[in-house]
Structure 1
C-alpha cells in the first residue's frame, strides 16, 4: 500500500464521521431511530440496502464460491431467475408487512399471533442473528489485514495479539459510531453515499483488470480442471461438491420460503414511505446488483489466473509464501484469493478496492449492529415491561443494546474457530430462525386460518432441526449434509407441521383487514403511493408477474424490463440444456460464451447503473431529509402492541 492507496482507502472514514454528526439532529422519536421515520424512497432503499452486500466478508464469500464453481454455477442459476423476479415484482411478503406498520417481524407476530410468540421469535431471531453476524467482523478484519500485508501477530501490551483482532476492534468502534449517532437515519444515508461512490469505483477496477489480463490467460487457467469439475462447462461440473445445481435449487426454495425472514437489515423493511416504495426498492436493487457482479467475477477469475498461470509465476510465488505463514489451513484457503488480489492490483486501484472493502465493512457492520440491537429491545425488553419506556429512555436502551451486540461480535470473532465456508455458515445459522419462521410469516400474512399453535409447531421444529445440524457438523467434519441441505430439510418439515396443526386448531378466521389496515380499518394519515397509478386494470401478463394498479408507467418499464431480461436467460437455459442433452456443445464454445454473457453484459450494466443510481441516490437523500424536516413525531409509535393493535393507532 502506497501513500496514495492509504489516502484513497481512508477518505470514506471522513465522510462517515461528518454525516454521522449531521444526522443526529433528526432523531426526535423511536420511529426515527428504528425505521428512519418511514421516510425512505425506492432509490435510497435499494442503494443503502445493497451496501450490506459490499463488505470484505461478502467478497471473501463470493471468492470461495467462484474458486469452487467458476462460471458453471451461473448456468444453473438462470433456472431460478423468473421465479425470484415474480416474488420481487409482486411485493410478496414485503408489501403486506409494510401495511401492518410493524417495525420488526416479531412485532408483527404479536399483531397476528400472540405476545408469547413475539417474545420467543424475538429471542430466537436475536440469538441466530448474533451467531450469524459473529464471524462477519472477524473475516472482514482478517481479509483487510492480509490485504494490507500486516503480520499475523503483533505485540500489544506485552502480549502477542492476532492483528485481525485489533483491526476488528477498530472497525467495530467506527461502525458503532454510525449506529449510535443517528440510528437508521445515519445508517441509510451513509450506506447510500458509500454505494454511490462504490459504483463509480467499480468502473475503475474493471478498467484496470481488463488492461492487466487478457481473456486467453484466464481461459487457460479455468480449463485446467479434471473431468466432472469444469469451471466453464456446466454439463461437465456434476462432480463439484457443495456449489452445484442442487445448491441452486435448494437455495431457490429456501430463499422464497424465507422471504424477508432474515432480520440483518430489519429497519429497512419498515423504512419505506409506502408499501409500493418498499416493493420498488427491492426491484431496483436487482438492477443494481447486475453491475456489481462484473467486479466480483472479474476479481475472482483474475486472482485465480494470477495464482496459476505461468506468466505470473514469479509474482504468485510471493503470494504462496505469504499464505504459507498462516498457521490455520482453513484460513489459508479462505485468504488465498484476497491476498492474490492485493498483489495483482496496481497503485491507486488497490486503494480503490480497499475503500470499497472499508465502506462495506462500516456500512454492513453498522446495519447488523442496529438491527440485532434493536430486535433485542423491541422484541424482548419492550414486551416484558409493564410500564412502557419513555422516548429518551427507549432510545438509550436501544443504544446500550447495540453496544452489547458489538461486544459479543468482538468476543465471538476472537475465539470462534471457523470450519466451514462463509456462505455455508450463513445458511445454517440463518436456518435456526428461518427454518421455522418462513411458514409463520407467509401463513400469517396470506392465510386467515393460520393459528398460534401452528406457528409454535413450525418454529420449534425448524429451530431444533437446524441447531442439531450445526452441532452435528461441528462434531463430525464428515457429516453428510451441508448447510443449505440442512436448511432445506428443516423448512419442508416446518411447512407441513404449520399447515396440519393450523387446520386442526383453527376455531375462527383471523381479521386480515384490521391487521393490514384495509377497508374500514384504513388509516387516513398513511401516505399514498408515490407517482401516478395506472387508471385502468393492468393486462393479464402484467398481473401474472405481479404488476398492479400501483405501478406508474415508469415503474412498469423498470419491472417489465427486468423480468424480460431474466426470461431471456431462462429461455437460453432451457434451449441450451435440451440442446446439450442431445448434442453437447464442444468445450471450445464455452470460453467465448462466458466472455460475452458473464463479463461483457455485466460491465455494460456497471456503467449504466453507475449513472442511473448516482442520480437516483442523490435525489433520494434530498427527499429523505425534506420529509424528515416536515415529519410529525408520534411518541406512541414505538413498537408497542395492545390487543392486536399498534399503540399509536386509534380505534
Structure 2
C-alpha cells in the first residue's frame, strides 16, 4: 500500500525528469573533443566537484544498502560511512596518491600505471577495473526498480519496464553530453536529493520522536546498535574490511577519481576531497536513520534476513503523504541518475583509454573517439539491463558491493601506492597483485553458489575473504617486485 498519487506525485516526478534530461541534452553543445567528454575539459571548480561527487556516490542502491545496515545494525551500521569520511579527508588533506596522480594529468588510473609498469599492466588493470566496476554496478537497476515499484505502487510485473525507462533516460544525456552533462545534472540532482532527504528525516523525527526511535534500538538491538565492536553482530573483521575499502575506494574508484582528474588543478582536487568528506558520512547516517525508523514501524517479524533490504521502501510508501512522496521519489531518481551516468562514463573511459589503446593508439580523431565512447556507454547500458534482470542478489546488498568492489580496489590501491612511492615496484609485482586481488573475491562469489563448497565459504564469510584479499595483494606486490629485482641484479 502506498500514498503515491499519480496525478500529483507523478507530475512532480515527470517535471523533474523532463527538466533534468533537457539540461543534460543542452550541455552537449560544450563537448568538442574526447577530453571534454571524459574529464569536462579539466575545468571543474571546488563547489561543483563537491556537489557532483556527493551526488554520484549516493544512488538508490546505496540508499537501500545503507538503510538496510541501519535496520539490521542500528547506528553501528554507519561504520562504513565513518571510515570513508575519515579516509576522504585524510587523502584530501595530505594529497596522498591523489596529488601525484592529478599532477600527471591522466584520464584514468591505468594510464598512470603505463609509465611505471608498462602497457601490459595498463591493459590488465583496465580489464580488472571494468570487471569489478560492472559487477558492482550490475545490481543498481534492479534495486532502483524494486524501490520505485514499492514506493510508487507499480505491479512487480512492470519492474523490468521501470528499469529500462530509468536506464534510457540516463543513457540519453550521458551518451550525448558526456562528463559535462554529468557534472551539470549532478549539481541539480544534489540539490533535489538534499531537499528530499532532509524533509523526510524531519517528518520522521516529528512523527515518531527521537527518544522513541532510540528506545526501539535499545529494546531490539541492545548496546550493539551503537558499538560495532561489541559482540559479533557487526564484527571486527567487518570493521577492518570497512577501513581497507574506505581508503582504497577514495584513492582508486574511477567515479571518485574522475572528479579529481577533472579539477582545474591539484589543489582544487584536494579541496574537493576534503569538502566531500562530510557528505560521505551523511550518505550513511540519513539512510540508516530511515532504516531505524522502519524497524520502529514494522518490528523484526515482517522483514528479516534477505528481506530486510525491502523494509525501507515499504516504510516510505506507508508513511509519506501525497506531495512529499513525489519529492522523495524525484530525489531518489536524482540520486540514481547521477550514479548511473557517472558509472557508465567511468567504465567507458577505462575501456576506451586503456583496454582499446592497442587499437586506436591515441591516433583516432576526436570525432571518432567521441563516437566510440558513446557506443561503449550504450553497450554498458545493455549489459547492466541484462545483468540486472537475471542476477539473484542474496544477503546484504552492502556485502555484495564490498566484495565486487574489492575485485579491483585491492590490487589498484596497492599498484597506485607502489607507483607513487616505491622505487623498486615493477611489473612482476603488479601482475601478481592484479591476479591475487581478482582471484580471491571472484572465488568467493562463485564457490558460495556451488552446493559442495557453499557451507565452507559461508562459514568463513565475505569479510575475512575481503581482508585477506587486501593483505595478500600487498604481499604479492612486494614478493613479485623483489623477485624480479634480485633476479636481474
Q: Structure 1 150/235 Cα, relative in aligned 2: closer, same or farther at 3 Å?
A: closer
Asked if structure 2 preserves the Cα contact closer than 8 Å seen for 1:72 and 1:231, the reply is yes
Aligned to 1:223: 218
- Structure 2 CA distance for aligned equivalents of residues 280 and 48 of structure 1: 13
Q: Are 2:451 and 1:460 equivalent residues in the alignment?
A: no
Q: Write out the 4+ residue segments of structure 1 that deviate beyond 6 Å after TM superposition.
A: 75-81
Partner residue in 2 for 1:164: 159
Residue 249 (structure 2) pairs with residue 270 (structure 1): no
Instruction: Choose the corresponding residue for 1:88, options 72, 92, 115.
Output: 92
**Hey, what's the Cα distance between the residues in 1 that align with 2:93 and 2:231?**
33
Q: CA deviation at 1:82?
A: 5.4
Q: Offset at 1:499?
A: 1.6
How far 1:477 sits from its partner (Å)?
A: 4.5
- Matched residue, 2:479: 500
Q: Which runs of 5+ in 2 are unaligned?
A: none
Paired residue for 1:212?
Answer: 207
Cα deviation 1:70-102 (Å, max 9, x = unaligned):
023558986887566323311211111111111
1:183-213 deviations in Å (ceiling 9; x for gaps): 0000011001210232233332233222211
Provide, for residues 262-285 of structure 1, a one-character-per-residue CA deviation record: whole Å limited to 9, x for no partner.
224553241011011111101101
Once the 2 structures are TM-superposed, how far is the Cα of residue 248 of structure 1 from its aligned partner?
1.9
Distance verdict in 2 for CA 1:251–1:292, change over 3 Å: closer
Determine which of 220, 231, 234 is the counterpart of 1:238.
231
- Distance, in Å, in 1 between the alignment partners of 2:45 and 2:146 is 35
Q: Which residue of 1 is the match for residue 370 of structure 2?
A: 395
- Are residue 180 (structure 1) and residue 159 (structure 2) matched? no
Match of 2:146 in 1: 142
Contact in 2 for aligned 1:259/1:438 (Cα 8 Å): no
Task: Give the match's secondary structure for 1:13.
Answer: helix
Matches within 5 A, 1:333-352: 333-352=308-327
Q: 1:352 to 1:88 in 2, by over 3 A?
A: same
**2:245 and 2:406 in contact (8 A); partners too:** no
The 2-side partners of 1:459 and 1:56 are apart by 30
TM score, norm. by length of structure 1: 0.69
Partners of 2:364 and 2:261 lie apart in 1 by: 21
Match of 2:17 among 13, 16, 20: 13
2:343 maps to which of 343, 358, 368: 368
Partner residue, 1:358 = 333
Query: After alignment, is 88-97 or 255-264 more displaced?
Result: 255-264
**Offset of residue 152 of structure 1:** 1.9
Whole-angstrom distance in 2 between the partners of 1:220 and 1:370:
45
Q: How far apart are the structure 2 equivalents of 1:83 and 1:485? A: 21
Question: Per the alignment, do residues 70 and 464 of structure 1 end up closer, same or farther by CA in structure 2, a change over 3 Å counting?
Answer: same
CA distance in 1 between partners of 2:228 and 2:474 (Å): 33
Match of 1:428 in 2: 403
What is the number of residues matched between the two proteins? 480
Query: In the alignment, is the contact (CA less than 8 A) between 1:223 and 1:230 conserved in 2?
Result: yes
CA distance in 2, matches of 1:483, 1:139: 21
Instruction: Indicate whether 1:45 and 2:87 are aligned.
Output: no
How far does residue 287 in structure 1 lie from its aligned partner after superposition? 2.8
- Higher normalized helix content (fraction of residues): 2
RMSD: 2.6
What CA distance in whole angstroms lies between the structure 2 residues aligned with 1:113 and 1:468?
26
- Structure label with greater radius of gyration: 1
Instruction: Work out whether residues 344 and 377 of structure 2, in 8 Å CA contact, stay in contact via their aligned partners in 1.
Output: yes
Choose from 432, 448, 462 the match for 1:483: 462
